[in-house]
Structure 1
Amino acid sequence: MAFKPFAMERWMSKFEQQVDYNLSESGVHPVRLEELLERAPGLWERLRRTELNYPYANGNPELRERVAALYPGATAGNVLITVGAAEANFIAATTLAGPGDEVVVMLPNYMQIWGIAHNHGMHVRSFHLREEPGWSPDLDELKEAVTKDTKFIAICNPDNPTGYILTEPEMEGIVRAAARVGAWIIADEVYAGTERERDEITPSFWGRYDRVVAVGGLSKAYGLPGLRLGWVVAPRELIDQLWARHEYLAISASMLSNVLAAVALSEEVRPWLISRARDYIRRGFPLLEAWLDEQGGAFSLIPPRAAAIAFVRYHLDVNSSELAERLRQEKSVLIVPGDHFGMDKFLRISFGLPHDYLATGLARIGELVAELA
């Protein structure tokens, strides 16, 4: 079985630090440590006195309690702290299914679980978000994809790369499909809190069904990717199984990440972080939209409902990976080609960025587009 690299993460990890303008990231512009210190009196003294020891392997109790508070009916015993949502997705997928097992993945999607499933010999079926009706899910296709052998259904809500938010009836449809055969739902919900058009935070799949694994983290809506701090919320029995895998993979997140994450999720700081992310998104999107309109019909877009990214269709006679490579080499701008989601003729472009940085990055993309048009 040939190993499938994670194409998008390979691309970003190789080149995101080497370009002038990184428009590939899916979160908002990151928070500075001094901003947290300003909003949390006493934090600096607490950090100075913190022993750089192992934290609780499953996450410090204060942090797990604050995560649990985000999920009605959950307790700290339903929470496992992980090294980013990436570890959470990995241990969830490999705990719930193994070689030869059937799984269903929503597409387009963050392609981590898709790749994990292929690399572990799972049989991957899919259902799609359809562009034509505005990226809504094809629930008829889901119904056909799910069989009595399906171990889990993997979804991302809000979605990466489209920014689509599932409606209540669509969420119910996914739950019905899983419940019909007793499959688990792995719900990657890291973009909850990045809503562009509304203030209500996207509801979780947690509590809708007894076989839900809800994944979250601080990288996207909170602007704290450098903490590498994520979590899983799941039934207690499954949490213990995930914890056992966590000990092989990472043992624990860092002590400082546990401390700072608890501060980020406090009643005093969390509302500010969510508001800050939405401000970047709501200021950045009009700039992106105006730029797209100025490109002479080269692009079309179904506006994202959440997240700091747009999945832009382009109307040029060039492959998306080739276009992305030329932008990197000729304009020192990094974006994500649609090929990384299995969809050529699309680009994923970040817009949750400072105004001048975003404007200049887009202008450089426009220069190459003009040459190709």
Structure 2
Amino acid sequence: MSEFQAFAVEQYLSETEHGVHYNFSESGVHPMSYAELIELADIDQEALLANLVDYPQVNGDEALRERIAALYSNANADNVLVTVGATEANTLVAATLLEPGDNVIRFSPTYEQLAGNAHNLGFEVRTVDMLEARGWAIDAQGLEAAVDQQTRIIHVVNPNNPTGRILSEADRDLITAAAKSVGAWIVADEVYCGTERHCDEPTPSFWGDYGRVIAINSMSKAYGLPGLRLGWLVAPESLIPALWRRHEYASITASMMSMKLACAALAPAARDAITARARGLIRRGFETLREGLKVHGGVYSVVPPEASAMSFVRFNLPLSSDELAARLLAEEGVLVIPGSRFGVEQHFRFSSALPDDHLREGLARINNLTGRILSKV
């Protein structure tokens, strides 16, 4: 077995985020309250509270699965398995698909949840770079060199975490062609669909592009409901039973209340209102971030994210990303994720889809520290 690999991003958050006032480390929009959700989704509170505190249907409430399936072309409820967040979905996929001798392709930088699971199960994980100089486009030659007959999964996060890039049609075609050439599965983490900055149309799913696709999503990022801990995967109907059997080991089921609230939130009118809220926070927040990064000219730059609540900010200071993050936390009470946790130096991940006053105060604190660092250079 491979030596256990900790989940670097989540370990960092577990060790640092609680009690921090200026927390810019999260990857979703500012969470809404239960009261906001009830109002936006027009939920009947009396009917909601009449539900028993019981086990729900293990693979997911049928009404919820139908609402999820409606988001995907030519899918039905039998293509859907409801999970405890997208993280469980990724874990189930690794445990179900991978067989001795297989390898997994992942793109860097990315969210390592599936790749880390594969590594810890003893499988080879191969890395293909995304190129900052080309707006975080995929290294086509690197992908061609990495894929072989033992490639079982090509894992993609689209829109990307941490960069916010949406794959171009050319990059999507590269991934699909590579998968088809060896019969690999495309496992597409699509939790940032619905967080686009420049349009109101959600990023197209990989579902339907190719017969071997598993699409993963959750209520956490675009919907601002991370506390529901509710996600799902959409897969060929023939594969669902194998994933379901492993789901029974991993968690048995998501909670009754999470399923009922998610079902209400995914009703068409409610979903439109909730994603409109998210896009408003994302669009205003990024402009505030861009303004804040100009205070010290030449120090900070960012490839503008096309979607998501976060930016992957490059900095030009005589510190490592770990050192900068540690000083921000210790001296200014500001939490960001150092780029080292994504395998990329001189960057940090910053979430800006937050209330404006809070965001501006946090940016001012970052600039305070920046000024002190520059005064000693």
What band does the TM-score fall into relative to the shorter chain?
A: over 0.9
- The 1:98/1:120 distance shift into structure 2, 3 A limit, reads farther
Counterpart contact for 2:295–2:367, Cα < 8 Å: no
Change in Cα spacing, 1:287 to 1:42, as seen in structure 2 (3 Å) is: closer
Counterpart amino acid of residue 234 in structure 1: A
Deviation at 1:94, TM superposition (A): 2.0
AA at the equivalent of 1:133: R
- Matched letter for residue 233 of structure 2: V
Kept in 2: contact 1:139–1:174 (CA 8 A): no
Aligned-partner Cα distance in 2 for 1:271–1:14: 35
Structure 1 residues 42 and 265, CA, compared in 2 at 3 Å: closer, same or farther?
closer
| Count of matched residue positions in the alignment of Structure 1 and Structure 2 | 373
1:204 Cα deviation after fit: 0.4
How far apart are the structure 1 equivalents of 2:99 and 2:136?
30
Match for residue 232 of structure 2?
231
The residue identity in structure 2 corresponding to 1:6 is F
Deviation, 1:197, is 1.3
Structure 1 residue 42: deviation in Å?
4.9
**Residue aligning to 2:364:** 363
For residues 25-174 of structure 1, what are the structure 2 equivalents within 5 Å?
25-98=26-99, 100-174=101-175
Corresponding residue number in structure 2 for 1:255: 256
Question: Counterpart of 2:22 in structure 1: which amino acid?
Answer: Y
Deviation at 1:15, TM superposition (A): 2.0
Q: Measure how far apart 1:268 and its partner are.
A: 2.2
> What secondary structure, in the 3-state scheme, does the structure 2 residue paired with 1:106 have?
strand
The 5 A counterparts of 1:272-283 are: 272-283=273-284
Aligned to 1:324: 325
Q: List, as ranges, runs of 4+ consecutive aligned residues in structure 1 with deviation greater than 6 Å.
A: none
Gaps of 5+ in 1: none
- CA–CA distance in 2 between the matches of 1:163 and 1:20? 24
TM-aligned CA deviation for residue 67 of structure 1: 0.3
| 1:41 positional shift | 4.0
Deviation for aligned residue 1:100: 4.1
Deviation at 1:98, TM superposition (A): 4.3
User: Aligned equivalents of 1:119 and 1:100: distance in 2?
Assistant: 14
Change (3 A) 1:292 1:51: same
Aligned-partner residue type, residue 315 of structure 2:
Y
Q: What is the alpha-carbon distance in structure 2 between the residues aligned to residue 315 and residue 268 of structure 1? A: 45
| TM-score, L = length of structure 2 | 0.97
Identify if the C-alpha distance between structure 1 residues 123 and 49 changes in structure 2 by more than 3 Å, giving closer, same or farther: same
Residue of structure 2 equivalent to 1:335: 336
Name the Cα RMSD after superposition. 1.1
Secondary structure, aligned partner of 1:206? coil
Q: Secondary structure of the residue that 2:82 maps to in structure 1?
A: strand
Moved more, 358-367 or 347-356: 358-367
Aligned partner of 1:198 in structure 2 is 199
Partner of 2:209 in structure 1? 208
1:2, 1:329 → 2: CA distance? 32
Task: Please give the TM-score of this superposition, normalised by the length of structure 1.
Answer: 0.98
- 8 Å contact 2:101–2:150 — kept in the other structure? no
| Distance in 2 (alpha carbons) for counterparts of 1:350 and 1:42 | 29
Kindly indicate whether the alpha-carbon contact (under 8 Å) linking 2:41 and 2:265 is maintained by their aligned counterparts in 1. no
SS at match of 2:194: coil
Alignment partner, residue 353 of structure 2? 352
Taking a change above 3 Å as real, the CA distance of residues 210 and 326 of structure 1, as seen in their structure-2 partners, is same
CA offset digits 1:189-233 (Å, max 9, x no partner)? 000000011221100000010100100001000000000000000
Contact 1:59 1:252 (C-alpha < 8 Å) held by counterparts: yes
Sequence identity (%): 51
Deviations 1:332-368 (A, max 9, x none): 1110000000001001011000000111111111111
Q: 1:33 to 1:2 in 2, by over 3 A?
A: same
1:61 offset after TM fit, Å? 0.1
Conserved? CA contact 2:321–2:340, under 8 Å:
yes
Report the equivalent of 2:183: 182
Mind listing any 5+ residue stretches in structure 2 that lack a counterpart?
Answer: none
Q: Deviations 1:262-281 (Å, cap 9, x if unpaired)? A: 00100221000110000000
Q: Secondary structure at the match of 1:236?
A: coil
